[in-house]
Structure formats: structure tokens, C-alpha cells
Amino acid sequence: MTATPSTTVANFRDLGGTRIAGGRTVRPGLVLRSGQLDRLDLAADPAVAALGLRTVIDFRTDAERGDHPDVAPPGARMLVADVLADKVNSGRMPAAAQLKDLLADPAVAERHLGGGKAQALFAETYRSFVSSASGQRSYRTLLTELADEESGPLLFHCTAGKDRTGWGATVVLSLLGADDETLMTEYLSVNPAVRAAFAPMIEGFTAAGGDPEIALALIGVVPEYLAAALDEVAVRYGSMEKYVREGLGVPDPTITTLRTRLTT
């Protein structure tokens, strides 16, 4: 699990090298995660260009994609898997999909997110990753594509590459046999890159009188967010395996193929 030295894509990471059960590791260069690709420039980014990406899965909402459309790597299939579609369609835009808007006005942020509300909203959103139909469709797409030999190397991303993408990485690594400590380490490892990418926004927010705790709750990830999604899995399905099989509807042969393809 290493940060790839991308110069034009925020929070670009290869899950390859992650240690999993039985002394195995995740194969490098096959499953990658990042923030949005709106500034991707392969001519200036040889590390990403060398990967030869074949598939990109975009977890963002329609509004996010419209504001910052991805730059497609040459020859790559661009798949939309809107994790938050159900929440957006219900009229409840999640904080994970509107970070920049929320940090633009400290007074609005305090009213809607102060006093622990931000953390509660994120925990609720993480639970929806597991329970909503749009979340289930999106993560089924991720696993199904990863099991397809023609789809790799595959990159999946959202806006910052920390929440929807973080849950995707957790599901993949858990299915491959990573233990709880490894899952949490990978999940939290994005914090330095995300905070660096959003540093000007955070500084502007706090300079205008915004609460630093609100900014960090929005920009970073904390163990409690991931714990909410894992608890939702435990309550609804009892295990990650059952969540993948019954919740996501991924059949056993696909799971077996995915494990064979992605581990060494």
C-alpha cells in the first residue's frame, strides 16, 4: 500500500504490496485509488502514465462530475458508479459530496456542522455506503470489474479519494484477507495527502473565523467513520463475506477470480 508519486492527481495510491493473510500480498499496479482526475496530465505525470490504466470507476455524483469532469487516460473505459445517488435523489446532499461549498462559509458550516454534527453526518453517510441501493450497485461494479482480467489496471476514485474511495479500498482489502489493523492503517493513511491538497481551503476557512475542528472533520478521515460502515455490515450481514455475497450480490466464482487475480 504505497503512495504513487503523482504530480497531477491528488491522493493517488496503489493497493499493491499490502500484506494479507497467508503471507500473501496484493499485486502491484492492478488496483489503484485516488481523488478526482480533473487535472490529470499524463505528459507531466510519468508515474501514472506508466501504469497503462484500462478502467476508471468514478464514485462521484452528477454535480461533482459536472463541476470537475475527469480527464480520461487514453484507451481507458470511464465507468460511473454514483455511490450517493440515492441520498442525492432524496434531497439530502451528503457532506462528503460538498466539501468545498461547506468550507466556503464559516457561519453556514457552524450552523449545520458544529457541535459534533459533522462527525454524525459522516457516520450516517458511511452507513449508507453499505445499506443504500446505489452504494451496493457501485461497490458491486468495483468488485466485478476487478475480477475481469480485461479491466486492469483499474483506478477507482471520488472527489478527495477518502470516503467513498476509502470504503471501496476497505471492502477490496478485506475480501483479499487483510486484517483489521491493516484495513484501518490504509484507511487513515490518506490524511496527510488530503489535508495537503485542501490546505488553502482550510486556511481560508479558519482565517474567516471557521472552527478548525469542523474543517478537519470534513477534510480528514477518522476511525469512527470507518467503524460506522463496518458496524452496518456486522448488523445487517454478520460479516464482510456475507455483505459482498448477499448485499452486493457478487457470486462466489467472481470472488475467487478476484482473489486469484489480485494476490501473489
Instruction: Tell me if the bond preceding 5 is cis, omega within 30° of 0.
Output: no
Segment 181-195, tens digit of pLDDT: 999 999 999 999 888
Measured CA to CA, the distance from residue 108 to residue 218 in angstroms comes to 14
Return the number of other C-beta atoms located less than 10 Å from residue 199's C-beta: 11
Domain membership flag for residue 234: yes
Asked whether the whole model's pTM tops 0.85, one would answer yes
The total domain count for the chain is: 1
Domain membership flag for residue 90: yes
Cell numbers standing for residue 194? 488530503
Q: Which residues pair with 3 in a beta bridge?
A: 13
Domain membership flag for residue 52: yes
Task: Write down the pLDDT at residue 1.
Answer: 52
Closest alpha carbon to 54 in 144, 157, 154, 145: 154
Measured CA to CA, the distance from residue 122 to residue 120 in angstroms comes to 5
Domain membership flag for residue 259: no
Domain membership flag for residue 179: yes
Q: What are phi and psi of 31, to 5 degrees?
A: -130, 120
Domain membership flag for residue 261: no
Domain membership flag for residue 264: no
Each of the 264 residues of the chain gets a pLDDT tens digit; together they read: 555 578 899 999 999 999 999 999 999 999 999 999 999 999 999 989 999 999 999 999 999 999 999 999 999 999 999 999 998 876 565 555 566 677 778 888 887 788 888 888 899 999 999 999 999 999 999 999 999 999 989 999 999 999 999 999 999 999 999 999 999 999 999 999 888 888 888 888 888 888 888 888 888 899 999 999 999 999 999 999 999 999 999 999 999 999 999 999
Range of the domain at 43: 2-253
Closest alpha carbon to 64 in 19, 26, 98, 21: 98
> Which residues lie below 8 Å from residue 6, measured CB to CB, with a gap of 6+?
12, 34, 45, 47, 48
Domain membership flag for residue 62: yes
3-state helix, strand, coil in the chain (%, to 5): 55, 10, 35
CATH assignment at residue 215: 3.90.190.10
Task: Write down the pLDDT at residue 90.
Answer: 65
Return the number of other C-beta atoms located less than 10 Å from residue 44's C-beta: 12
Task: Write down the pLDDT at residue 232.
Answer: 98
